[in-house]
């Protein structure tokens, strides 16, 4: 587990920005030995995941950001009335505690209250209960499915794969994948939550 830190200390004593320029002659984008501990200390311009020690930036387009905000907002409203956990966006998760060169960032994630990490100032060493990924035009389909499988293998109960081009959401579990185009629900994880799929894509062009 990541070290538990005092909240007051964390707020009054922020980490100093860290640069590898003095330590590494190899440009960051060419390195294959970056660790999650290092990534936490970097002052990077965009959210970044680690794949086998390589830094991979997540750079959302406008439509992606709009969908991400809408889903996160709907979940936040639900959780205000049903305080069973927390929703976050662009949060790095250490899915594999023993693999220092790997981390993943769901576009949106939900964690149940009883599983909330004690340390909110470091990347959590866990998988979220719900991981939501929004497919962008430039995404490689095989890579997306690999990521879905990674979440589920590490303990995520549900993955919602949002596909703007098809105006659908795939609900993925370890045993099933189901296409939803009417109302998105998760009765076992989010009792009473309901989001019309059409609302997710309002204002987003079909050509995405």
The pLDDT mean for the chain works out to: 88
Cα–Cα distance, 40 to 48 (Å, whole number): 10
Going along the chain from its start, the domains and CATH numbers come out as: 8-57 (no CATH), 62-200 (3.90.1570.10)
Q: What is the pLDDT of residues 46-82, one digit of tens each?
A: 899 999 999 999 888 999 999 999 999 999 999 999 9
Q: Which of 108, 86, 84, 115 is nearest to 169 (CA)?
A: 108
Sorting pLDDT into bands at 50, 70 and 90, what band is 11?
very low
Cα–Cα distance, 20 to 76 (Å, whole number): 37
Task: Decide if 42 contacts 20 (C-beta within 8 A).
Answer: yes
Q: What is the mean pLDDT of residues 140-161?
A: 96
Per-residue b/e over 75-91, b at no fewer than 16 CB within 10 Å?
beebbeeeeebbbbbbb
The position carrying tokens 């009765």 is 187
Q: What is the mean pLDDT of residues 3-9?
A: 37
Least confident of 10-14, 117-121, 129-133, 196-200: 10-14
C-alpha distances out from residue 153 to 2, 116, 146, Å: 21, 19, 10
């Amino acid at each position: 587990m990541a070290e538990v830190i005092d909240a007051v200390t964390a707020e009054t004593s922020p980490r100093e920005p860290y640069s590898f320029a003095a330590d590494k002659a190899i440009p960051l984008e060419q390195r294959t030995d970056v660790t999650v501990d290092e990534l936490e200390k970097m002052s990077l311009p965009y959210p970044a995941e680690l794949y086998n020690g390589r830094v991979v930036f997540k750079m959302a387009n406008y439509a992606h950001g709009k969908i991400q905000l809408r889903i996160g907002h709907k979940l936040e409203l639900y959780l205000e009335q049903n305080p069973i956990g927390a929703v976050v966006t662009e949060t790095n998760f250490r899915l594999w505690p023993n693999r220092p060169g790997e981390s993943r960032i769901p576009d949106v994630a939900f964690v149940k209250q009883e599983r909330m990490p004690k340390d909110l100032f470091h990347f959590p060493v866990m998988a979220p209960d719900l991981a939501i990924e929004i497919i962008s035009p430039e995404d490689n389909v095989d890579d997306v499915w690999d990521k879905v499988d990674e979440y589920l293998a590490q303990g995520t109960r549900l993955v919602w794969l949002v596909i703007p081009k098809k105006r659908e959401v795939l609900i993925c579990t370890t045993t099933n994948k189901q296409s939803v185009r009417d109302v998105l629900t998760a009765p076992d994880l989010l009792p009473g939550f309901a989001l019309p799929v059409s609302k997710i894509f309002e204002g987003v062009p079909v050509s995405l």
